[in-house]
Chain A
Amino acid sequence: MHMGLEETATALRALSLRAIHSARSGHPGGSLSVADILTALYFEIMRVKPDEPDWIDRDRLILSKGHACPALYAALAMKGYFSEEHVLGLRHIDSDMEGHPDFRIAGIDAPSGSLGMGLSQGLGMAMGGRYQNKDFRTHVILGDGDLQEGNTWEAIMAAGHHKMDSLVAIYDANKLQGDAPVKVQLDLGDVAAKVAQFGWHTIDVDGHDISALKAAFDEAKATKGKPTFMVADTIKGKGVSFMEGELFWHGSVTMSDQQLEDALKELGND
Chain B
Amino acid sequence: MTDQSILSYWGPGEEVSVRDAFGRILVHMAETRADWVFLDADVAGGTGAKPLIQARPDRVMQFGIAEQNMMAAAAGVADTGLIPVVSTFAAFGCMRAHEQFRTAIAYAGRNVKLCCSHHGLDVGPDGATAQMLEDLATMRAIPDVTVISPADANEFMKAFAAILDHEGPVYMRIGRSPTRVVYDEDHDFTIGKAHRIRDGKDVTVFATGVMVPRALDAAVALEADGISVRVVNMSTIKPIDRDEVVAAAAETGGIVSAEDHNVLGGMGSAIAECLAEHHPAKMRFVGVKDRFGKSGEHTNLPAMFGIDAGAVAQACRDILKSQ
Contacts and interface: CB of A to CB of B under 8 A. Distances in A.
Given A117-B104, A120-B104, A123-B73, A128 B80 contact: yes
A154 B78 CA distance: 19
A41 B71 CA distance: 27
Interface in A83-136: 102-103, 109-111, 113-114, 116-117, 120-129, 131-132, 134
B75 interface: yes
A111 B80 contact: no
A157 B80 CA distance: 22
A151 B69 contact: yes
Nearest to A62: B76
A155 interface: yes
Contacts of B63: 158
A131 B64 CA distance: 18
Contacts of A128: 37, 76-82
A140 B108 CA distance: 17
Interface residues of A, number: 32
Where chain A touches its partner, the secondary structure class is: helix
A123 to B, nearest CB: 5
B82 A117 contact: no
Where chain B touches its partner, the secondary structure class is: helix
A56 interface: yes
Interface size range of chain B in the complex:
20 to 34
A114 B76 contact: no
Contact of B69 (A56, A60, A120, A125): A120
B74 interface: yes
B99 interface: yes
B236 interface: no
26 contacts: A56-B81, A110-B108, A111-B108, A117-B68, A120-B69, A120-B100, A121-B73, A121-B75, A124-B76, A124-B84, A127-B73, A127-B76, A128-B76, A128-B77, A128-B79, A128-B81, A128-B82, A129-B80, A131-B37, A132-B81, A151-B68, A151-B69, A151-B100, A155-B69, A158-B69, A158-B73
